[in-house]
Structures are given as C-alpha cells and as structure tokens.
Amino acid sequence: MLDRLNQYRIMWVMVYFDLPVVETKERKAATKFRTEIMRDGFTMFQYSMYMRHCFSSENADVHIKRVQDLLPEKGHVVITKITDKQFGDMKIFYCREKKHRENMPQQLELF
C-alpha cells in the first residue's frame, strides 16, 4: 500500500492555456474547454492554469488524453505531468509573502 502512495508515483497534471476570446465563437470555445477540464476533475491553480491530482502516471496519461481531445481550434495549450514530490517542492508566493500550500486532495483508491 505504501508503494502506491509514494510521492514519486503520485502525479499532478498541469494544464496551462492562452485562448483567444475576441470573437463570440472563440469565447464559447474557451469557456467550453475550461468547463470540460473542470468536469474531468481539474481545479484552477492560477488564472488559465489548472491542475489535477492523479494516483499514477498511467492515470495521468488518461486525463492528458482527455484534455487533448478537448483542444479548441485556436490558442496555445501546454500540458505538464509532474510527480507529487516535484509539486511539493514548489515555492508559492503572493507578492513577496510566501504562501503555504493549501491542503491538496488525498486520493482514495478502492481497487
């Protein structure tokens, strides 16, 4: 069980995007993309940066594929997969004040 919860096995998928929103069609596409990745369990980390906790690299790959299937026609999207250890080593600041990382979700595995 402990091997499954190893911080090198647990992954985070980060999606960064810059989508055009000048025309109505572009705004709708950007909203749909954002809504659909949130429906898949991604939460906003920063503006236009969303993240999702995954219990393994294989599970992360499933969610990466889902995001790829949702890509809009226009814009720039980056998908990154990092380990829980790398995520935990991030330094987060609000202006010059260091901000403590909020409690991240605990993954419950039933199988």
Which tokens go with 26? 């572009």
Q: Which residues of the chain have pLDDT under 70?
A: 1-5, 99-111
Q: Which residue, 70, 11, 5, is CA-closest to 40?
A: 70
* 64 in Cβ contact with 13 (< 8 Å): yes
pLDDT of residue 111: 47
pLDDT of residue 54: 95
Fold of the 11-98 domain: Alpha-Beta Plaits (3.30.70)
pTM for this model (two decimals): 0.80
Domain boundaries, the chain: 11-98
* 57 in Cβ contact with 1 (< 8 Å): no
pLDDT of residue 107: 53
